[in-house]
Amino acid sequence: MLWRTVLRSSSASWLAPLLATFVALLLSDDLTAGVTHGYWPSALGAATFALPFVAPACATAGAWEGTRLTRGNVTHWAPTRSGLGIALPLLAPVFVLGTVGMAVATAVTVSTGRPDVGTPPVGMILIWLIILTAHAMAGFLLGKRLPLVVATPLALILSFVLTAYPAALEPLWLRHMVTGGMGSCCSLDQTPSWRAAASALVLALGVIGAAALALSMLRRRARTLFISGALVAGVAGSAALAYGLPADPVTARSTDQLVCAGDEPRVCLWPELAGHAAMVRENASYARHHLQQAGLSVPDKLTMNEHPGKGALFIGAWPEPTPSEVRAGVGTALLPSGPPACAQSGSSFPGADAYGPTAAWLSLTAGAKKEEVAGHYGGKEGAVAAHVMQASHDEQLAWYHRNSQALRDCTTHPAPPPSSHVRESAR
């Protein structure tokens, strides 16, 4: 059959414009909601949201082509090609359909994120295409064995349920077996989890292998044995890779990509912030100077690496920072990144209430805007911080050190703000 005939007669050719319109118009808000500006993995990861909608379209079109093959009674002729050789030309437009759907989703997220540093992670795209191929081939087999009125809606429903619903199920790692956990990627200091991506890849390859065997092998007993083996291997391998992963699996980005410059302080930024580098370094230096004037010790290395190591501070990983955000990031970097181990084991943690006011005070001391601090930590916490800043230098330091200790153990209680009487006496 000529390729132009295949394209003209394929259901995928009719579905492609409908799918592209659906993705561009109805999914655009969800696709762009969590894109990290300027970062390729985030742009492609956000596009993964479209996968539970594009995959069912491929499965449905594949089922339609399978029923066409059965209605044409092709397998009862004397074919010169294997069943797989006959199926692949019919499925080629279906593969293009999936590519079009994900290309539109990618265009939407890339136009929002506008990544301009580095290259796209091609591996994410390949995993999409392999997953879509698995859905198309599974739908084709369904269409070969069931009537049209049953096969196409059943393929649509099963494909959607298998890709969309695991995200709402326990255990959490089940969802990564079908979509690869790429939808939760990534902030600037993160990259996709290779285990989650490999999990989806292994399952999809198992389905593709089983479908290829079903289309190629003629002996029923051997075919059943090999198909079962391919499916079991795919499911088992996928589950082994995904087991234990959290809901949002990501890995830390290599610190070799950080660009460091300056001295006293030395500021290390991700390359995506090249356009903001001068502003970030200027305001980081400003914040450090003001914190030191307040009597606080601030390391001379400020970095966007979430695990900075000794003698450095993690100041944040903003894609589009403002001067106030940079100053606040330097200030709050002096606080612990999370609750102490005793609190995580269930012990009472009286210091929990100290975080908001203390972080707000550090932000204001570093030079952040009052309205932004109040908006981030709350009006009450901002008011407490402003109240503390009216006290004497020694009183502020004593209040800060007490609260800082309260955030690091489960026995120290937060310090109350200096009283009005003490402040008046200090004046």
315 and 330 fall within a common domain: yes
Question: From first to last of its 427 residues, what are the pLDDT tens digits of the chain?
Answer: 556 776 677 889 999 999 999 999 999 999 999 899 999 999 999 999 999 999 999 999 999 999 988 776 666 665 666 778 888 989 999 999 999 999 999 999 999 999 988 899 999 999 999 999 999 999 999 999 899 899 999 999 999 999 999 988 889 999 999 999 998 888 899 999 999 999 999 999 999 999 999 988 767 788 889 999 999 999 999 999 999 999 999 998 999 999 999 888 999 999 999 899 999 999 999 999 999 999 999 999 999 998 888 889 999 989 899 999 999 999 999 999 888 888 888 888 898 899 999 999 999 999 999 999 999 999 999 999 999 999 999 999 999 999 999 999 999 999 998 875 444 444 3
Contact 189, 317 (CB under 8 A): yes
229 and 281 fall within a common domain: no
368 and 239 fall within a common domain: no
CA 16, chain centre distance (Å) = 27
Query: Under 8 Å CB-to-CB from 227, ≥6 apart: which residues?
Result: 210, 213, 214
212 and 285 fall within a common domain: no
118 and 146 fall within a common domain: yes
Nearest to 186 by CA among 102, 256, 249, 122: 249
186 and 299 fall within a common domain: no
Contact 148, 52 (CB under 8 A): no
In tens, the pLDDT along 288-329 reads 999 999 999 999 999 999 888 888 999 998 989 999 999 999
Last residue in a domain, options 205, 233, 253: 253
219 and 281 fall within a common domain: no
107 and 231 fall within a common domain: yes
Last residue in a domain, options 235, 253, 271: 253
246 and 271 fall within a common domain: no
Q: Which domain, by its residues, includes 8?
A: 3-253
155 and 291 fall within a common domain: no
How many structural domains compose the chain?
A: 2
d(CA 307, CA 141): 49
d(CA 67, CA 385): 70
Contact 63, 139 (CB under 8 A): yes
pLDDT of residue 76: 61
Contact 300, 368 (CB under 8 A): no
Last residue in a domain, options 226, 253, 280: 253
Label residue 409 exposed, middle or buried (CB < 10 Å: 0-12, 13-18, 19+): middle
404 and 314 fall within a common domain: yes
What are the φ and ψ backbone dihedral angles of 172, each rounded to 5 degrees?
A: -65, -30
187 and 148 fall within a common domain: yes
Contact 364, 385 (CB under 8 A): yes
